[in-house]
Structure 1
Amino acid sequence: MPQSDSLRELLLLDSTNRKYSEKQLKILEAAIDTFSEKGFAATSTSEIAQKAGVAEGTIFRHYKTKKDLLISIVTPFMTKLLGPMFAKEFVKEVFDISYNNFEQFIRKLAYNRYEFVKNHRIVVKILIQEISFHDELKEPFIELFHDQIYPKFHEKIIYFQTKTEIVSLPADTIIRLIINTIVGTLLSMFLLLPEKNWEYEQEMEQTIQFLVNGLKVQS
């Protein structure tokens, strides 16, 4: 799906069922493009207006501040794609499955996140750029992970340790290593070095093997 179509679908996921005018959609799309390229702080509303083909005053008729514009972009993403219902679907797709071995689990987890970032990379980039600076973006992630995902993740790690498939490091350490490795690969491919001619499937396979070999019990 083209990114422009994906962005429109994302914006139309507003949990308030708010109806966007064509002009608002152009403003939001222009803001997404500019925030993604330059970051929130370095972007001016005049740049967004120019890219959207509207007067700057039109932006402020819809959004009181530039930060309100940012929140309007990220909120549908967070409420629909990272909210409780999505978290339950993620848990069901990845953690509520029986696996024959640890490699199957890591493969499922890695490719699930790969497809997610590939499909929503522009808004993911904005979110990553800004999450450290805006508590209203950060706190829902912490709560969601802690309440919905972490317990299932911890349970899987203990299960594979019980089967002596992975090393007996603290479960929290193993979770951190898995997250950092997968997220680091995805950030490099889609956000930090997107212009590089990546072999996506090969990179994912190498990441999976790195985790599996690095965490397995040595005989």
Structure 2
Amino acid sequence: MSETMEQWVEELLKGEGSGEKMTEKQTKILQSAIEVFAEKGYAGSSTSEIAQRAGVAEGTIFRHYKTKKDLLLSIVAPAMTKLIAPFVLRGFNKVLDSEYESYEGVIRAMIENRIEFIAKHRNLLRILLQEIPFHPELQEHFQRDVLVKVLGRLQKLVTGFQAKGQMVDLPSMTVVRLTISAIMGYIAVRSLYGERKDAVWDDVQEREATITFIMRGLGIAK
């Protein structure tokens, strides 16, 4: 993990709000687990490697966590409920609480906001993207603590533009889904490919093409 530990990791390791202070060994185990899960994914990780990085015996892990799955959930579930949802909403508040003259302004603000968010919380997001599809417990946390809150507020923005006659008459959730799909597609490719040194990637062009695609798809003049 980098010398400057991500904010969510710092809060998680402090155990704030949990009522229990982590021991030094627990802290080392969680730090090492975060690194290994982010690098290799849950299925490709082993408790022996986590123990080796933490400088503890493998049996020490099982004294604190019954299984590798418990170790994963001890990282992701608290982060989802206490950290990621507030982080997502805190970041989106800047977008959702602002006033925009056009839907294009909303799209641009969302893109900037999410790029900044991903840059700050890359390790946790990598774990979430890798593991959510395979763990129903994480899906439930994500839907309840993140998705419902964010989508609900975005729908209100869309219905506001629709009421002014500035947007195509589609169900507001459909508009939100199409918008987020295009934005996240751009951001995912940008993060996985566009930031590579050997990538042929014009970020300004790709961003403008994404915005134009969304606006035209929704029948909005750009």
TM-score class, shorter: 0.7 to 0.9
Deviations 1:102-128 (A, max 9, x none): 111111222222211111111111111
Instruction: From the superposition, tell whether residues 31 and 86 of structure 1 become closer, same or farther in structure 2 (CA, over 3 Å).
Output: closer
| Alignment correspondent of 1:212 | 215
- The residue number in structure 2 matching 1:45 is 47
Q: Does the CA-based 8 Å contact 1:178-1:211 persist in structure 2?
A: yes
Which residue does the alignment assign to 1:196?
A: 196
TM-score for both structures, normalised by structure 1: 0.83
1:163 aligns with 2:164: yes
Aligned to 2:129: 128
Query: Contact (CA 8 Å) 1:91, 1:152: kept in 2 or not?
Result: no
Question: What is the Cα deviation at residue 66 of structure 1?
Answer: 0.5
Aligned to 1:22: 24
Structure 2: which amino acid aligns with 1:156? L
Pairing of 1:56-71 with structure 2 (within 5 A) = 56-71=58-73
Aligned position for 1:73: 75
Q: Report the CA distance between 1:146 and its aligned residue.
A: 5.7
C-alpha spacing 1:10/1:114, structure 2 compared with 1 (3 Å): farther
Q: What's the offset of the Cα at 1:8?
A: 3.9
Question: Is the deviation greater in 31-40 or in 72-81?
Answer: 72-81
Report deviation, 1:201. Answer: 5.7
Identity %: 44
Unaligned runs of 5+ in 2: none
What's the offset of the Cα at 1:200?
8.8
The structure-2 alpha-carbon separation of the partners of 1:41 and 1:106, relative to structure 1 and needing over 3 Å to count, comes to same
Post-superposition, which runs of at least 4 consecutive aligned residues in structure 1 deviate over 6 A? none
Question: Is 1:165–1:216's contact at 8 Å kept on the other side of the alignment?
Answer: no
SS at match of 2:170: coil
Distance 1:33 1:46 in 2: 14
Task: Give the whole-Å Cα distance in 1 for the aligned partners of 2:166 and 2:44.
Answer: 48
Q: Which residue pairs with 2:104 in the alignment?
A: 103
- Over aligned residue pairs, what C-alpha RMSD do you find? 2.9
Separation in structure 2 between the aligned mates of residue 161 and residue 53 of structure 1, nearest angstrom: 58
SS of residue matched to 2:101: coil
- Tell me how far apart the structure 2 counterparts of residues 173 and 29 of structure 1 sit (CA, whole Å): 39
Q: By how many angstroms is 1:3 displaced?
A: 6.6
By relative contact order (CA 8 Å, sep 6+), the higher-ranking structure is: 1
TM-score, normalised to structure 2, is 0.82
Deviation at 1:25, TM superposition (A): 2.4
SS of residue paired to 1:132:
helix
Amino acid at match of 1:187: A
The match for 1:82 among 84, 99, 109 is 84
Ranges in structure 1 where 5+ consecutive residues have no aligned partner = none
